[in-house]
Amino acid sequence: MFELLRKAFGGKDREQPRAPERADAGSQAAPPKPALRELGVLPPPGPAALADGSGPEPTAGVVGTLRARKLAGMRDRANRLAQERQREAEAEARTAAERQDRESKQMERDRLLAQRTFQALADLIEQSAARGLDGREYPWGNCFDARRCVCSVSPAKARSTAPVGSLPAGESPNGCLDMAGNVSEWLADWYDHNCRSTRGGAWHGYDADNFRAYYRFRREPHSSSSILEFRCVSPEGSS
């Protein structure tokens, strides 16, 4: 009867749960799965800590690697700093060289300007002393007169130089003597790049145009002659 009821309400026989099978002592255990460390996923474990909490000293390889990295970083920083200092030094040197070059050029311009100014003033003074304010052709006027200067033009026909001031008739409006004839005078300005200027004409000149107050001759600076002179200027009232 119980059998009939079981078949009517229970259907198929329920399977009883099986107890886990125990491995026999003599059977071989399954091989363990490889650890993550062995597969290279995790780094190798460090040295185990001691019971009091202190660990063992790091290995020599680790210390050497850390020191090498630290030294490499220090060398890189030192190299960068040295390169920056070198660039700064080069920039300062270029700035100093440019400043010195500008100063040299400015000094040369100032020197040339001062020289040209002096030459212009010297020429202006000489022309004023020889021609006066009216700009005459000769120190004594606009017409040539051989008797007013030491020259070889007829009727004077000089044969050598004469003492300074021997012909007072040739005096300029500013009281200067021998501004024409006798000997030529060096000027402060240059005739060209190689020669200096002279004015006044010398005693051996036979052309009246040579004794004009504005007429210039060219002479090499190192040349010397008995027909060349320097005119000295002293302050007014001095002896």
Tokens representing 221?
Answer: 């600076």
Residue 194 covered by a domain: yes
Q: Which amino acid is at 183?
A: V
Structure confidence at residue 137 (pLDDT): 92
Residue 84 covered by a domain: yes
Residue 183 covered by a domain: yes
Going by C-alpha positions, the residue among 79, 101, 81, 99 that lies closest to residue 91 is 99
CATH code of 117's domain: 3.90.1580.10
Residue 173 covered by a domain: yes
Residue 206 covered by a domain: yes
Residue 64 covered by a domain: no
Residue 36 covered by a domain: no
Per-residue model confidence as pLDDT tens digits over 150-190: 998 888 888 888 998 889 999 999 888 999 999 998 888 88
Domain that holds residue 137: 74-234
Is there a contact between 132 and 174 (Cβ–Cβ < 8 Å)? yes
Q: Which residue has the higher pLDDT, 103 or 205?
A: 103
Residue 151 covered by a domain: yes
Domain count, the chain: 1
With a pLDDT cut of 70, the percent of the chain lying above it is: 71
